[in-house]
Amino acid sequence: MARRRSNPFSLSFLDCMCCGFGSVILMFMIISHRITTHAAEITQVRDVEVLRLAARVDAQRDLLSENEDKLGEAEQVLADREEELRSQREKMREAAAELARARASSREEAEAVRKAQAERRSDPPKPHVREILNRGNRQYLTGLRMGGKRALIMVDASASMLDRTIVNVLIRRNMTPAKQRQAPKWVQVVSTVDWLAANLDPEGWFQIYTFDETARPLLADTRGEWLEVGDGRRLGEAMDRLGEVVPKGGTSLSAAFSAIAAMKPRPDNVYLLVDGLPTVGSERPKRSTVSGAERLRLFQSARRGLPATVPLNVILYAFEGDPDAASAYWALSIASGGSFMSPSEHWP
């Protein structure tokens, strides 16, 4: 029997080959799907990471912007401090210059006092129109510019003249008028006016004003007039009237200087008895309190109303919480050709 020849490309072989190719194709499809899925997962993770990094970048930018703002503020504060330091140095230089001028002025005044004392010893003494009684250990002024044919005494009669501290002023304001007139500070002011009156030129003229928020003569019918010192009766009436005054109200330096400017003829010597910078200007204040800077502004405004040719002799009674008063009044008195003093509690 003849042997049957085998065909290598039979149906079975082709089936096997197709199955093999199909397996390979299926394997590639599975691998491709896994690669695509893995790539999508990686892309998603990277997207999340990118968003997180972007958020961190935004946060860092905000922090950088905030730090830049703080740096700008710090630079501005530093510039302000440097400007303030320059201003303080300038004030120190001005104060040193004023101190030098004050020392020179003190030497000139001391020399003038020595000359005046020598002349007084060589000249016969003038009789006094008004005498003051000795009350024991009295400290008399040296350096205060006395004299003048027309002397004006301007007395601060505001409420602050009741005491040297704010608390005691508030306490005394609620006392009876008699008790207020007995306040030690006001008694000292009245005694100072008495001392000045006793040292007026007997051949000259005088006027005495008080001021709080307004200015007025002690003798109401003598506004703008000059009274003879030699007429002791009028001087006595003025001092008696001063003994009846009760300090009250605010302090208007504008009113005081306006009264000085209104005198005809102008005084050739003014004695200003005051305890601090003004609290009231030419108009009524809108607030019940006034700051130190505002009081200094009111002083500078009032200063412009003082006649330039009138010597101003300031007697300052120290008051609590007014540190700028001494330097301001000292500068004003020196600039006007007058003198300045702040007496002890027991003078005169």
pLDDT of residue 4: 58
Same domain, 232 and 329: yes
Same domain, 67 and 133: no
pLDDT (tens digit per residue) in 165-192:
989 999 998 999 999 999 999 999 999 9
The Cα–Cα gap between 293 and 286 comes to 16
Report how far apart, in Å, the C-alpha atoms of 285 and of each of 74, 180, 290, 304 are. Answer: 38, 25, 9, 19
Same domain, 88 and 232: no
pLDDT of residue 120: 58
Which is higher by pLDDT, 214 or 113? 214
Residue 346 falls inside a structural domain: no
Query: Which pLDDT band, with edges at 50, 70 and 90, does 213 fall under?
Result: very high
Which is higher by pLDDT, 134 or 285? 285
Residue 262 falls inside a structural domain: yes
Q: Which residue has tokens 């104060």?
A: 95
Same domain, 107 and 138: no
Q: Residues 89-118: what's their mean pLDDT?
A: 79
Q: Could you tell me the maximum CA-CA distance found in the chain, to the nearest angstrom?
A: 188
Same domain, 121 and 141: no
Same domain, 114 and 49: yes
Q: Is residue 128 pLDDT above 70, yes or no?
A: no
Please identify, among 79, 96, 125, the residue that sits at the C-terminal boundary of a domain. Answer: 125
Residue 8 falls inside a structural domain: no
The CATH number of whichever domain residue 133 belongs to comes to 3.40.50.410
Please identify, among 125, 143, 165, the residue that sits at the C-terminal boundary of a domain. Answer: 125
pLDDT of residue 159: 92
Same domain, 211 and 300: yes
Same domain, 157 and 249: yes
The residues that bridge with 316 in the sheet, in sequence order, are 274
Query: Which pLDDT band, with edges at 50, 70 and 90, does 219 fall under?
Result: very high
Question: pTM for the full model?
Answer: 0.61
Q: Is residue 125 pLDDT above 70, yes or no?
A: no
Same domain, 187 and 220: yes
Q: In a 3-state reduction of DSSP, which class is residue 207?
A: strand
Q: 120-129, 146-155, 207-216: which has the highest mean pLDDT?
A: 207-216
Token duo for residue 313: 């002799």
Q: Which domain holds residue 90?
A: 29-125
Query: Which pLDDT band, with edges at 50, 70 and 90, does 136 fall under?
Result: very low
Q: Residues 209-223: what's their mean pLDDT?
A: 93
Query: β-strand 312-316 against 269-274: which pairing, if any?
Result: parallel
- Among 268, 238, 11, 42, residue whose Cα is nearest residue 129: 238
Classify residue 310 by burial, with Cβ atoms within 10 Å: 0-12, 13-18, 19+.
Answer: buried
Domain count, the chain: 2
pLDDT of residue 134: 40
Name the CA radius of gyration of the chain, rounded. Answer: 46
The Cα–Cα gap between 262 and 258 comes to 6
Same domain, 80 and 169: no
Q: What is the mean pLDDT of the chain?
A: 83
Q: How many CB atoms lie within 10 A of CB 205?
A: 21
Report how far apart, in Å, the C-alpha atoms of 343 and of each of 108, 149, 316 are. Answer: 21, 25, 7
Helices (H), the chain: 11-122, 166-173, 177-181, 184-198, 232-242, 253-262, 292-303, 325-336
First CA to last CA across the chain, in angstroms? Answer: 169
Residue 348 falls inside a structural domain: no
Q: Residues 211-231: what's their mean pLDDT?
A: 91
The Cα–Cα gap between 231 and 224 comes to 18
Q: Are 167 and 124 in contact (CB under 8 A)?
A: no
pLDDT of residue 263: 92
pLDDT of residue 140: 46
Please identify, among 73, 91, 125, the residue that sits at the C-terminal boundary of a domain. Answer: 125
Q: Which of 52-56, 185-189, 286-290, 315-319 has the weakest average pLDDT?
A: 286-290
Q: Residues 315-343: what's their mean pLDDT?
A: 89
Residue 10 falls inside a structural domain: no
Same domain, 275 and 150: yes
CB under 8 A, 24+ apart: contacts of 127-132: 127/202, 128/198, 128/199, 128/202, 129/198, 129/200, 129/202, 129/229, 129/230, 129/232, 129/235, 130/194, 130/197, 130/198, 130/200, 130/232, 130/235, 130/236, 130/239, 131/198, 132/194, 132/195, 132/198, 132/348
Which is higher by pLDDT, 96 or 208? 208
Residue 310: what residue type?
V
Same domain, 135 and 153: yes
pLDDT (tens digit per residue) in 14-64:
777 788 878 888 887 787 767 777 777 788 888 888 888 888 888 898 889
Query: Which pLDDT band, with edges at 50, 70 and 90, does 121 fall under?
Result: low
Residue 175: what residue type?
M
Which is higher by pLDDT, 192 or 346? 192
